[in-house]
Chains A and B, each alone.
Chain A
Amino acid sequence: MALVAEKGVLSKRVKREKEELLSAPPQIDTERVRVLLDVYRETKIQPNVIRRAKLFNKLCCEKTLYIDGNPILGTLTRYKYGAYPFPEEGCAWMEREEEFALPRGKVRITPELRKWIDKAIEFWRDSNLFSLTREVVLEAYGIDIRTFSKCGLWIEATPGGAAHILVPDYAKVLNKGLQGIIAEIEQEEAKLNTGEPDALDRWYFYQAAKLAVNGMMVLAQKYASLARGMANEETNVERRGELEEIARICEWVPANPARNFREAVQAFWFTMLGAWLEAPTTLNSPPATLTKSLYPFYKRDKQEGRITDEEAIELLQFLFLKFNQLAYVLPPHGYRMNQSRLGLQLSLGGLTPDGEDGTNELDWLVLEAQQQIKLPEPLVNLVYHDKLSEEFLLKCVDLIRTGIGQPAFHNSRTGVERHLYHHQMPLEEARTFAIAGCVQSSIPGYMDGYFETRFNVAKVIELTFENGNDLLTGIHLGSQTGEARSFQTYDQFYQAFITQLEYLVPLTHDVSRTAWTLQRNFPTPFSSSLINDCVKKGKDVSDGGARYSFGDGVCLVGVVDAANSLAVIKRMVFEEKKLTMSQLRQALAADFVGYEDVEKMCLSAPKYGNDEEYTDSIARDIYEICYNLHSKTDHLGRPVMPSAYSVTGHVAFGEFTGALPNGKKARKPLVDASVSAQGGTDKNGPTALVKSAAKIVDTVKYSSNHFNMKFHPTALRGIDGARKLLSLIKTYFDLGGYHVQFNCVSGETLRDAQLHPESYKELVVRVAGFSAYFITLDKDTQDDILRRTELTF
């Protein structure tokens, strides 16, 4: 196809905007706090959905606007790079911390900011999602969520205030306009008889939806007026013309159907922005279907000679820059676990509903745009199938070669099977899945996505050694399964481990479900209007309005650490009898200091990732047992399944996990992802690792798996290297693997970046599900990336 020049370079203007954005200081905007407090004081007796709609509407009407050199208008806050505190999620930490984090850096809390934040805390202290959940769980289960988090057993025991992972029906906004959606709502409302059962709830939802959608149209008009005002004062003729054009576009979209590619791009962005204004938090409304929803507009403009590919690429790059202006506030502690992620997943490839290759020319332009601009967001994903053209696949490898870890590859076949298996949906719908969340998927425009707590399985090994007690804090967390030193067989230890899981997996799921039930206090009427069938049913997404829910249940982290640890106990203690349980326990308690010979034995035992049944089968059993222990219904009675990915949770969990029999040292990271190998232990090379990785998680039953491979840049040399990489990926998928992503910067580069961060401001690496600027990662995460075995092509 070769749509674009091989060595495309950024336009001067895009380059300048990129530099300005990346050097813009992170800022906290308290404007939303003011609006939030006003609305909640004014609306005490109204249903939550109305309160949230009023909040959204008022924020749209009153927010301070910001316009910079980007021809696409709309920023989240009044700053170039800013975020809104979101006290409804949880705010106790805001009281303690003097610094808040944004994905690209930290912000000192000045007295002026503190004034507003304290007001927010005063209002939300006892009614935020975390405190509500904590209180209920304490009453109902007799356990303290905070303790479980502090001991490193759970992360995100409560979801964010609106952490649904929704992929709005962008195409609908582009084709019908928000006016069209209002018409749809009014049509349904007209059929309503409020005297019928539940009809009043529906009526409230319609009022809320209209209020919210209207708010977004007001915001666009405000941008139009501001642009027009600026145009009137602009002396530069060219810029003046541009501002006038921008004003005309924002006067028209998103209220009306887009008439060309330029308008469609602006409407697309307003849709995303609306979702973020409503719930300013991670993973929200990814541009998953960007290429599919924008394609008809591009195609028409192209056919009629109104746009060149260079212009389209530049516009896409401006849109990518808008993505990177989004941000959210998180505690410094959360920064360690979620750093740098917005989770703006963008899917390429995939299938059409009738099973043909869904790739279009915009897929190519997105690859080219990202290859030139190399931004951490969006996260470009490829939904892989065998009908993709060789040429397109080679273009994907070109992007991998840049070292930004994109695109991540996802297996279409497994994804389709998964949606059919869990949701019994029509095949045509299952085929349209796109990537959303971390490594999960979604039926765009039709699905409620959410994620439950991440759960540290490696910690359960520790608990098994200590009869359910946490060694690092002395707190009792698990079941009483007996003194490990009294175990006479491997089976006794293994059964004790399973008994711990039997208690902890259902507990974790129940606590998560409780939190998601309480999350219904924070509906999202704007986003819900853009998810089918919320309007038809008259229900918010949080009440189950979406046609499907993805059902991402408890997420297991550290399974490979646990499997490798069990293999050590099996081999060294009970088969070869080189160690006693007491010796091993002592060595772990001492973090192997003075027990170097024990450490060596631990490391020399069989390890997962070598295409050997001994340990791989243990890992597979753990995943299978946890799957069976996990209930199959969520808080609304819909299908749910456990999940397997780490993001950077393996680092955070590792910090609260002591030394383990697999040779992991106390407080050091766990193994990343869900099927990656423990650093340096995959001695049989990439094909063996791929076979193990494809084997241990049933990727149809599970909501995902997560696999990181790292290659030297030389590894992908030439077309021959590219083909071999593609064969490797295809085989992994043939064997049932679902997700794989590649880092291909060299170890030398990363080490140099640690020493001279100033020279590597733009170095992007893939961190377990998310791309991030390497220098913004903490030292442990950096080291962890370095340690992952460098596989040479």
Chain B
Amino acid sequence: MSENPNNWPLWEVFIQSKRGLDHKHVGSLHAADAQMAIENARDVYTRRQEGQSIWVVPAVAISASQPDDAAMLFDPADDKTYRHPTFYQMPEGAKFI
């Protein structure tokens, strides 16, 4: 991406706000290496106790689906409502189900 070899690469940052929750993507930043990316992420994304754990991933390592493929990838789920519990009719009076 960058022509100048002294430009720090881009990292995507994921923060876990609390134990037990997912790490969630919060943004990106530039850093020379992973250690510095974590330290910078601490300063940029957790100044108000937003996190208790940080993941950083080189942006170039992320592969993403293309918007054009969205229909192919996600439409097949549209007509499969039987995958949801509300699809089923329960007999009157049955409990805990």
The answer to whether A and B assemble together is no
Contact residues of B with A, CB < 8 Å? none
Chain A interface residues (CB < 8 Å from chain B):
none
